[in-house]
C-alpha cells in the first residue's frame, strides 16, 4: 500500500511486551509506516483525534486491549470530522470464524450494533461463508483480502543440515491445532519410522513423540526460509476454525511456497484458488496419506512440486497484488459513495 502512495500509521498498545519484541531496533519505524505505541486511554484518544484527518480508519480485530471501546471510538472519530472530509471506516478481521462465533453466541455483543455503521468489513480469509455471515449481521460490504507472499522476505535459499527433514511442520502449540498435529504429523511419523520429522514452534517441549521426530523449538522468522528450504516436504495444517469455513490460506503456506518448498496440506474448501492440488500442492486426508507421500514422491518430484508452487505464488499471490485489490476496492467504494 505504501508503494501505491498510501501514508500509513499503525498504532498499537504497548501490551504483552510488544515494544521489546518489535522487528525494528531502538524504537525505529519501517520505511513504509509510522508505528506509534500508546500506553493509556489518553494517548489512544489522541491518536483517534488525529485519525479524523485520515481517508480511512481501520479497526483490527483482536487488538488485545480496549477492543470494544475502539470499535465504537473509530466511528465517533470519523463522525467528528468535517462532513466533506469524513474518513471511511473499516473493520479488518484477522480471525473471522472466532469473531463471528463470539457475535452469534452473544446477543449483546457490541459489534452487532456497530457493524452497520462501518463502511466495510475486510477479512483475512473465509471466502463466501464469512462474507455471507457478515452481510447477514448488517455489514454494508465484506471483502476477503487473503494472506500472500512477500518475495523480498520469503525466497529460496540454500538448505541447512540442522533443519534437514523429510517432513517439517512449523506452528505454535494451540488448542485448536494440537489434535491435527497429533494426527497428521505425529501419527504419520509413527507410520514412517525410517523418515525424519521436524516439529518447530513454541509449546511442544515435553510432548510424547516418536524417536524420529525432532523438536525444533522457537525458530526466528529470519530462519524460516532455511527451515522451509531444508525439508523434503513442509506440512501445512489449518486451525480447526479456518479449516471449517475454508478459503483461509495461512501465512505459512505462502512462506513455504516462497522458499520453493514442496507442500503437503490438510484439505479445506477453496484451496484450489491458491494452489492446484496434485500439481502445486499435495492434499492429505489422514496420517496414512501423509506417510504414503513420503514413500511415493521422490525428492526430484517434490522439488518440481515446490518450484511450481513458487511460480504460482509469484504470479498470483504476492502482497503487491493484494494491495492493488484493496486499492481498487477502496476507490470503487468511494466512487459509489460519491455517485449516491
Q: Which domains does the chain have, with CATH numbers?
A: 2-148+320-339 (3.40.50.2000), 161-317 (3.40.50.2000)
Percent of the chain past pLDDT 70, that is, above it, reads 98
Q: What is the mean pLDDT of residues 140-169?
A: 96
Q: How far apart are CA 84 and CA 184, in angstroms?
A: 55
Q: Is 144 helix (H, G, I), strand (E, B) or coil?
A: strand
Return the C-alpha cell found at 286.
489422514
Residue listed under C-alpha cell 507442500: 263
pLDDT in tens, 290-317: 999 999 999 999 999 999 999 999 999 9
pLDDT of 230 above 50:
yes
Instruction: Determine the pLDDT at residue 339.
Output: 37
Q: How far apart are CA 220 and CA 108, in angstroms?
A: 41
- DSSP for 204-239, written as a single string: -TT----TTEEEEE---GGGHHHHHHTEEEEEE---
Q: How far apart are CA 238 and CA 236, in angstroms?
A: 7
pLDDT of 338 above 60:
no
Return the C-alpha cell found at 307.
518450484
Q: What is the mean pLDDT of residues 327-337?
A: 73
- State whether the Cα torsion 152-153-156-161 is positive or negative: positive
Instruction: Determine the pLDDT at residue 16.
Output: 83
Q: How far apart are CA 8 and CA 271, in angstroms?
A: 31
Q: How far apart are CA 277 and CA 280, in angstroms?
A: 6
Nearest Cα residue to 94 out of 61, 63, 68, 126: 61
pLDDT in tens, 110-130: 999 999 999 999 998 888 999
Q: Biggest alpha carbon distance in the chain?
A: 68
Alpha helix positions (H), the chain: 41-51, 67-80, 96-105, 110-114, 127-136, 175-180, 188-191, 224-229, 240-245, 251-258, 287-296, 299-316, 319-339
pLDDT of 203 above 90:
yes
Using pLDDT thresholds of 50, 70 and 90, give the confidence band for residue 24. confident
pLDDT of 328 above 60:
yes
Q: What DSSP element (H or E) covers 199?
A: strand 197-200
Rg of the chain, C-alpha, whole Å:
22
pLDDT in tens, 232-246: 999 999 988 888 899
Using pLDDT thresholds of 50, 70 and 90, give the confidence band for residue 334. low
Q: How far apart are CA 70 and CA 147, in angstroms?
A: 24
pLDDT of 3 above 90:
yes
pLDDT in tens, 74-102: 999 999 999 889 999 999 999 999 899 99
pLDDT of 202 above 50:
yes
Amino acid at each position: 500500500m505504501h508503494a501505491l502512495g498510501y501514508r500509513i500509521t499503525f498504532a498499537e498498545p504497548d501490551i504483552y511486551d510488544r515494544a521489546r519484541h518489535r522487528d525494528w531496533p531502538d524504537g525505529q519505524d519501517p520505511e513504509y509506516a509510522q508505528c506509534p505505541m500508546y500506553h493509556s486511554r489518553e494517548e489512544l484518544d489522541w491518536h483517534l483525534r488525529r485519525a479524523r484527518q485520515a481517508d480511512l480508519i481501520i479497526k483490527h480485530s483482536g487488538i488485545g486491549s480496549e477492543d470494544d471501546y475502539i470499535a465504537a471510538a473509530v466511528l465517533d472519530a470519523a463522525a467528528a470530522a468535517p462532513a466533506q472530509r469524513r474518513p471511511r471506516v473499516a473493520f479488518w478481521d484477522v480471525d473471522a470464524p472466532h469473531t463471528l462465533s463470539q457475535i452469534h453466541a452473544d446477543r449483546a455483543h457490541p459489534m452487532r450494533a456497530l457493524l452497520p455503521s462501518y463502511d466495510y468489513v475486510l477479512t483475512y480469509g473465509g471466502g463466501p461463508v464469512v462474507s455471507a455471515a457478515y452481510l447477514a449481521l448488517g455489514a454494508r460490504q465484506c471483502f476477503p483480502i487473503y494472506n500472500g507472499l512477500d518475495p523480498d522476505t520469503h525466497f529460496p535459499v540454500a538448505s541447512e543440515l540442522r533443519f534437514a527433514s523429510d517432513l517439517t511442520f512449523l506452528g505454535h502449540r494451540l488448542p485448536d491445532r494440537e489434535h491435527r498435529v497429533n494426527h497428521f504429523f505425529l501419527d504419520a511419523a509413527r507410520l514412517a519410522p525410517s523418515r525424519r520429522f521436524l516439529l518447530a514452534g513454541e509449546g511442544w517441549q515435553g510432548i510424547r513423540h516418536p524417536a524420529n521426530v525432532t523438536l525444533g523449538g522457537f525458530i526466528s522468522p529470519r530462519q524460516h526460509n532455511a527451515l522451509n528450504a531444508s525439508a523434503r516436504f513442509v506440512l501445512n495444517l489449518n486451525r480447526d476454525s479456518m479449516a471449517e469455513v475454508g478459503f483461509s490460506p495461512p501465512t505459512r503456506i505462502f512462506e513455504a511456497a516462497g522458499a520453493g518448498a514442496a507442500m503437503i496440506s490438510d484439505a479445506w474448501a477453496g484451496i484450489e484458488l491458491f494452489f492446484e492440488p496434485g500439481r502445486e500442492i499435495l492434499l492429505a486426508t489422514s496420517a496414512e496419506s501423509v506417510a504414503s507421500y513420503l514413500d511415493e514422491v521422490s525428492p526430484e518430484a517434490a522439488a518440481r512440486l515446490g518450484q511450481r508452487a513458487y511460480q504460482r505464488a509469484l504470479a498470483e499471490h504476492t502482497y503487491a497484488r493484494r494491495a492493488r485489490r484493496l486499492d481498487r476496492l477502496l476507490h470503487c467504494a468511494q466512487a459509489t459513495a460519491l455517485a449516491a
